[in-house]
Amino acid sequence: MAKKVRYSAEPFVPKTHSLRVLRAAAKGCEGCPLFASATQTVFGEGKAHAPLMLIGEQPGDAEDLSGHPFVGPAGKLLDRALADAGIPRERVFVTNAVKHFKFEERGKRRIHKRPRTSEINACHPWLRAELEAVKPRVVVCMGAIAAQALFGPEFQLTKHLGVPVPTPHAEFALATLHPAALLRMTDANERRAAFTALVKQLKLGYNNSQR
């Protein structure tokens, strides 16, 4: 039986709390096979010692091409939610649990593909380094992948949605739906209700981070 390969970004992560140094090192990460098909690493961005950190799943097509997190359709929806919550985006640090875009090709389009647990685990050293460098007071995990990257694979998003949960990485963390999940909703009333909930949860996280 072939030995199972365990991927990890650990060898590529420098021992530093400098976001500038971490971002530069992340460009050369080959900690899992996703780097081979992605255009580039998409590292976190925002205020260096932001009291609030937002964690998503992984870069999308627009993020992969631009090198910046949350600039595509989900990012635009997140910007709307932040604005409605009264949160300046430049006051938060935004990143993803996985730093490379995983996709499948459909014609000329590149469609998001859910990362495997092994890929999430492989990228965790980068997320841990970002948390240690930023030292946020509150973390908001947007979507199940982000929440499981922080709390472990047993974390159930629907059970803990919007509920503050203790974490060693901050005073507390809470989980919300990912903005992309709202974009996939076909029922307008459901989408409005989910957006209202997202704004409320972002505001809860931000207000607590300012205390």
Spell out the residues 6+ positions from residue 117 whose beta carbon is closer than 8 angstroms to its own.
Answer: 153
pLDDT greater than 70 at residue 3: no
Instruction: Encode pLDDT of 20-72 as tens digits.
Output: 999 999 999 999 999 999 999 999 999 999 999 999 999 999 999 999 999 99
Give the C-alpha separation, 98 to 145, whole Å. 9
> Are the beta carbons of 54 and 95 closer than 8 angstroms?
yes
Identify the structural domains of the chain with CATH numbers, from first to last: 10-209 (3.40.470.10)
Q: What does DSSP assign to residue 119? A: H
Residues 113-168: pLDDT tens digits? 999 999 999 999 999 999 999 999 999 999 999 999 999 999 999 899 999 999 99
Q: State the pLDDT at residue 126.
A: 98
